[in-house]
């Protein structure tokens, strides 16, 4: 199920009886002219400033919630509040069935990537004060929705592992000769940005090519391959093997240089640049002079 298909039905028929019956009691409570007066008592402790968020809801296991919709929540605003803070408050105070992923809350784990106001963002990194209200929070586009804001990440992980993201060596020295494999400072600087990836899948979700080609490796996987292919500790034959994986029909050549992946990356990785450099490497490996 794609979130792109659900959008038109959520706002055009707000009074639909079936839809109204599917909403949580807390969400219904906030609707209508008495919304502020009937707010939960815990909100009255704040100064009255609230944030209006519209959260995508879908639960295939509950018949009344199988039709995708948006629920409205008004959460108390605090300085420094993030999108993740707002949905956590909505879950804890209004509707405990609201489902989403989160873990570290420090933009390290990549668990809480959402589609916020039409752009892929990390919930824990995105400040509420930087967004226009109402804030529309949806699951990542072009991914199968499991429930509410949770998407199925299996395909994304499969693509990441398809590039064999680990060092391989066919010539292992004797135990007595083993020593540290050192990387030059210059080479470390070259691949440094590629190591920042937190597997949030924002780039994959933003990529139009990935949306239409399920076999395309995608920017995250190609970036992971870049980290190893450009590492000066990688053996030449292994690097050639990795480039053969990347130059396949659904590899680097499917990229159309739209920069959408680079624009949404929460870690500022120059993904498009890395893809183009791997294209050049693939071309150079196939050049023969005789």
Average pLDDT of the residues in 79-94: 96
Q: Are residues 80 and 93 in the same domain?
A: yes
Q: Output the pTM of the full model.
A: 0.77
What is the per-residue pLDDT across 101-127, written as a single tens digit (0 to 9) for each? Answer: 999 989 999 999 999 999 999 999 999
The domain tally of the chain equals 2
The verdict on 107 and 188 lying in the same domain is no
Please report the pLDDT score of residue 19 as a whole number. 39
Residue 225's domain is classified under what CATH number? Answer: 1.10.1060.10
Residues 231 and 142 occupy one common structural domain: no
Contacts made by residues 48-52, CB under 8 angstroms, sequence distance 24+? 49/76, 49/77, 50/74, 50/75, 50/76, 50/77, 51/75, 51/76, 51/77, 51/81, 51/86, 51/128, 51/133, 51/135, 52/133, 52/134, 52/135
Identify whether residues 38 and 112 lie together within a single domain: yes
Q: Indicate whether 146 and 7 sit together in one domain.
A: yes
Kindly state whether residues 126 and 250 are assigned to the same domain. Answer: no
Name residue 51's beta-bridge partners: 75
> Over pLDDT 70: what percentage of the chain?
79
Look at the chain and count its residues.
290
Q: What is the pLDDT of residue 26?
A: 44
Which residue range(s) make up the domain with 68?
Answer: 3-151
Whether the predicted pLDDT of 288 surpasses 80 = no
Q: Would you place residue 174 in the very low, low, confident or very high pLDDT band (cuts 50, 70, 90)?
A: low
What is the structure's pLDDT at 16? 44
pLDDT digits (tens, 9 = 90+) for 47-63: 459 999 999 999 999 99
Mean pLDDT of 20-27: 43
Least confident of 17-31, 81-95, 173-187: 17-31
Q: Are residues 106 and 219 in the same domain?
A: no
One domain for residues 125 and 162: no
pLDDT value at 186 more than 50: yes
| Residue pLDDT, tens place only, 36-47 | 444 444 443 444
16/285 Cα distance (integer angstroms): 61
Burial environment of residue 99 by CB neighbours within 10 A (0 to 12, 13 to 18, 19 or more): middle
- 13: tokens are 């028929």
Is 193 found in the same domain as 109? Answer: no
Asked whether 115 and 137 are in contact (CB, 8 A), the reply is yes
Task: Supply the pLDDT for residue 239.
Answer: 87
CATH number of the domain within which 58 lies: 3.10.20.30
* Contact in structure between 69 and 57 (CB atoms under 8 Å): yes
- Does residue 64 register a pLDDT over 70? yes
Q: What is the mean pLDDT of residues 259-274?
A: 96
Structure confidence at residue 118 (pLDDT): 95
Residues 229 and 250 in one domain: yes
What is the model's pLDDT at position 25? 43
What pLDDT shows up at residue 289? Answer: 54
pLDDT level of residue 6 (50, 70, 90 thresholds):
very low
Q: Is residue 147 located within the same domain as residue 188?
A: no
Quick one: 119 and 214 in the same domain? Answer: no
């Amino acid at each position: 199920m794609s979130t792109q298909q659900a959008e038109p039905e959520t706002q055009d028929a707000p009074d639909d009886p079936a839809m109204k019956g599917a909403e949580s009691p807390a969400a219904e409570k906030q609707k209508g002219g008495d919304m502020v007066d009937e707010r939960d008592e815990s909100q009255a402790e704040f100064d009255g400033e609230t944030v209006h968020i519209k959260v995508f809801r879908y639960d295939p296991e509950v018949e009344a919630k199988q039709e995708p919709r948006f629920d409205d929540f008004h959460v108390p605003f605090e300085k420094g509040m993030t999108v993740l803070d707002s949905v956590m408050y909505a879950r804890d105070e209004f509707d405990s069935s609201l489902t989403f992923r989160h873990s570290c809350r420090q933009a390290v784990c990549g668990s809480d990537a959402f589609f916020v106001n039409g752009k892929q963002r990390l919930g824990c990194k995105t400040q509420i004060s930087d967004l226009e209200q109402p804030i529309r929070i949806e699951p990542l586009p072009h991914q199968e929705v499991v429930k509410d804001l949770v998407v199925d990440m299996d395909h994304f992980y499969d693509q990441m592992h398809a590039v064999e993201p680990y060092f391989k060596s066919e010539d292992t020295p004797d135990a007595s000769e083993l020593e540290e494999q050192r990387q030059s400072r210059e080479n470390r600087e070259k691949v440094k940005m590629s190591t920042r990836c937190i597997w949030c899948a924002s780039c994959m979700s933003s990529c139009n090519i990935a949306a239409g080609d399920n076999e395309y490796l995608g920017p995250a996987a190609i970036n992971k391959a870049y980290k190893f292919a450009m590492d000066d500790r990688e053996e030449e034959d292994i690097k050639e093997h990795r480039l053969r994986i990347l130059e396949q029909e659904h590899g680097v050549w499917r990229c159309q240089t739209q920069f959408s992946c680079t624009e949404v990356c929460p870690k500022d990785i120059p993904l498009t640049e890395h893809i183009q450099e791997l294209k050049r490497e693939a071309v150079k490996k196939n050049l023969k002079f005789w």
